[in-house]
Homo-oligomer: A and B are copies of this chain.
Amino acid sequence: MSTGLTRVRSRIIMTVQNAVAARLIALDWGTSNLRATLLGEGGVVLDARAAAEGVMAVREGRFEDVLQALVGDWIAAHGCNLVASGMIGSRQGWREAPYLDCPATPAQAARSLVRVDLARGTLGVALHIVPGLRVFGADGEFDVMRGEETQIWGADLAPGQTCILPGTHAKWVQVGEGGRIESFLTFMTGELYAVLTQHSILGRLMQFGSSSPADFERGVRLGLAEYRQATHILFAVRTAGLTDRVPPQGLPDYLSGLLLGIEIGSVLSTARGAMGTVTLLGDAALVARYVTALGLAGIDAQAAPADATTRGQWRIAAAAGLTDR
């Protein structure tokens, strides 16, 4: 099973790793990637590894094989518990962890961890999966997240903030007292960008590889103005190419800006637009795009520290008493 695993050792913060006792193995196991972090007392990072073995890449439910291939030596050497957040707790994952309903706190998540015993592990330790969150929206439909809740709980957000997590399925999250997650909205912005560039007529005239801030801004402004006709205005990416109003190398950023403008315009149009301070959490390049787009809508936003996931995992595990041995 080690074939195909890409091991990345990064940020070995403690140079003499064995000098500090390991307390927890924290797994961020999403759709596309598995990131593992070895944590010591107080949540200090001792070691980190990653593999391109996301939930969708694991065949025939062989999750433990993938886990052992990446961090089997940590499990054998340290005898500490494992905590995992992300799509690993979905129906397509290792074990389904039922959604917690919002509002939801880290303490509730700690009480709702789903325990998975390992076939090859130290007696008394196990893998504990963090549940995702569910909210029943003002639109009469459920919305869901898995993994982002742990990231938010690690980010030390002040009450009343709106936290945006850009990505395949971007989340806009209302945060209350003590990190409580009050409600949230998902936008399919990232996935729409991917499928429209790769599989629709909008990609036909595009030339990839360059950045075009002016076309991005133009797209954002169009999306902010025309979000009420989203499935019409997306066609402007085709016509802007056909009529030479945007050059082929500017079309990808024009679409990206348009989708962000539609997303931001949509949120501002509702009562949910009363959003307080806005904090962005995620990949630096994506966060920068959102800061620009939000600025064009007159909204100041700031980026939160990037290591929030690991801190969230430590907090939940500590609250569940899993970091004591």
Contacts and interface: CB of A to CB of B under 8 A. Distances in A.
Contacts of A204: 92
A196 to B, nearest CB: 7
B141 A240 contact: yes
A204 B236 CA distance: 29
A139 B228 contact: no
By DSSP majority rule, is chain A's interface helix, strand, loop, or mixed?
helix
Interface stretch (A22-30, A77-85, A110-118, A185-193): A185-193
A195 interface: yes
A186 B235 contact: yes
B143 A222 contact: no
A19 to B, nearest CB: 44
Given A196-B195, A235-B187, A140 B230 contact: no
B142 A240 contact: yes
Interface in A90-123: 91-92
A interface, how many residues as a size bin?
A: 35 or more
A262 B230 contact: yes
A234 B266 CA distance: 13
Q: How many copies make up the complex? A: 2
B139 A233 contact: yes
A92 B204 CA distance: 10
User: Which of A222, A225, A227 is the most central at the interface, judged by chain B CB atoms within 10 Å of its CB?
Assistant: A227
A239 interface: yes
Interface string A200-233: 1100100000000000000000100111111111
A11 interface: no
Contacts of A235: 143, 169, 186-188
A269 interface: yes
A231 B266 contact: yes
Interface string A235-252: 110111011010000000
A245 B140 CA distance: 12
Contacts of A189: 231
Contacts of A240: 141-142
A91 B200 contact: no
Contacts of A140: 222, 225
Given A144-B239, A187-B231, A188-B232, 18 more contacts: A91-B242, A139-B225, A139-B229, A139-B236, A142-B239, A142-B240, A142-B242, A143-B239, A144-B242, A144-B243, A186-B235, A191-B200, A195-B195, A195-B199, A228-B266, A229-B267, A230-B262, A232-B266
6 contacts: A139-B222, A141-B245, A144-B239, A188-B231, A188-B232, A198-B199
Closest 3 CB pairs of A and B: A230-B230, A141-B236, A229-B266
